[in-house]
Amino acid sequence: MEPTTKKAYALAGVDIHLADKVKRIIAQQARTTFRSEVIGSEFFGSMFQLKGYREPILVSSTDGVGTKLRIASLLGKNDTVGMDIVSHCVNDILCCGAEPLFFLDYIAMGKLVPEQIEAIISGIVHACREVGCSLIGGETAEMPGIYSQGNYDLVGFIVGVVEKKNIIDGSSIVPDDVILGLPSSGLHTNGYSLARRVFGIDANPSCLNKSYPGLERSLGEELLQVHRCYYPQLKPALPLVKGIAHITGGGFVGNIPRILPEGVAVHIKKRSWDILPIFKLIQKEGDIKEAEMYQVFNMGIGITIVCSPRQVANILSVLPQAKVIGEITKREDNERVLMD
C-alpha cells in the first residue's frame, strides 16, 4: 500500500521525496548558524536554552516580505529576500532593545523548487550569521492550487531577549528630545504593491531590466536592494536611546506614534535628509501626492531614534550616518506627527 499512497499524493501535486531532500538541504545550512544555546535540531519543536541573564524579557515578532517576492521571482534572484525577512524581524525587536536569539522561517509554494528554496535559505542563513542569530526551525510547504507557478510566500518569526532594566519603550520621551534617522537602502519590504502598479510590472516584467535616469542600477536591482539591518550599528548606542521606531508599512505617520507617550508629538523636518532617487521616480511615474509617499514609504529613513539633546553628539560619534531629522514637541491637538 505504501507505493500507491506515495503515487497518489504525487498525482495530487505533492512530492514527499523532494520535500525530504529540501529539508535536508535546509538543515545543513541552518546548523551553521547555531549558537551554543541550541539544543538538538531533529525534534518536533526547536529548543533553545536561555542563560546568562538576570531578568530576561523575551521579545518576539513575525512578518513577511510581502509582494517584493514577486520581483524576486520574476528576476530569478531569491537570496536577497531571505536577507530581507531576517533584517525586518531583527529591526522590529531592536525597537525594544532586544538581542536576536533565534529565527524560524515559513516558505510556501505551489510546487517545491529546490534551487529557489536553497537561494532563499542561503540569504536567511547569511543574515542570521551577521547578527549571531540561530536559524532554529521552520516549515516548507508545498501547496498546489494555492500558489501559481513561480510564486511563493516567505514569512519569518524571531525571538530575542533584553534585560528588564534595559527595555526601550519610549516612556521617558519628553518635549525637546531629538529624533535622529538612519538611512534606508531603498523600499526595504513595504510599498511594493504600489510600486508594481506604478511601473506596470505584472503586465510588463521586462521593465525591471530598464534603466531610469537617476538610478545607478536597473529598476529590478533597485527594487531588490536588501532591507538594511540596524542591530550591529545601533547596539553600542542602545544605552543612550529613549525610543526606536522601525519605519515600515505606514511610513512615519504609522510607526513613530507607537513609541510616543501621551502628551507629546514629533516634528519631522523633511528637508533634513536626501530623498533616495527611487522614491522620486515612483512619485513622478505614479503622480502620487507627497503626503501619501510619506505614509507608504520610508523615503530614505529606515529607523528613527529618540534621545535627549545632550546625547546627540555621543550617538552621532557611534552612528556617523545618522542625521538629526526632528524633535519631540508638546502635543497640541490630535496630530502625533507633524511633517514640513
Domain assignment of residue 219, yes or no = yes
Which whole number is the average pLDDT over 202-212?
95
Does residue 171 lie within any of the structural domains?
Answer: no
Query: What is the band of 1 on the pLDDT scale with cuts at 50, 70, 90?
Result: very low
Which of 13-22, 67-76, 117-126, 149-158 has the weakest average pLDDT? Answer: 13-22
312 and 205 in a single domain? The answer is yes
Residues 129 and 261 in one domain: no
- Of the residues 132, 166, 200, which one is the last residue of a structural domain? 166
pLDDT tens digits for 165-189?
Answer: 999 999 999 999 999 999 999 999 9
- Return the pLDDT at 263: 94
Average pLDDT taken over every residue of the chain: 93
The domain of 18 spans: 2-166
Can you give the CATH number for the domain in which 91 is found? 3.30.1330.10
Is 232 inside any structural domain? yes
End of a domain among 166, 199, 226? 166
Q: What CATH number is attached to the domain comprising 251?
A: 3.90.650.10
> Does the pLDDT value for residue 295 go beyond 80?
yes
Q: Are residues 9 and 157 in the same domain?
A: yes
Report the number of distinct structural domains present in the chain. Answer: 2
**In a shared domain, residues 155 and 195:** no
Find the mean pLDDT for residues 153-166.
98
Residue 241 lies in a domain: yes
149 shares its domain with 217: no
For residue 42, what pLDDT is reported? Answer: 66
Question: What average pLDDT does the segment 241-254 reach?
Answer: 96
> Which range among 35-44, 169-178, 204-213, 251-260 shows the weakest confidence by mean pLDDT?
35-44
Kindly state whether residues 135 and 192 are assigned to the same domain: no
Rounded mean pLDDT, 256-262 = 95
- Among the candidates 166, 189, 222, a domain finishes at 166
Same domain, 122 and 48: yes
Which residue would you say has higher pLDDT here, 152 or 29? 152
- Residue 127, in any domain of the structure: yes
The whole-angstrom distance between residue 188's C-alpha and the CA centroid of its chain comes to 7
> Do residue 51 and residue 151 come from a single domain?
yes
21 with 41, same domain: the answer is yes
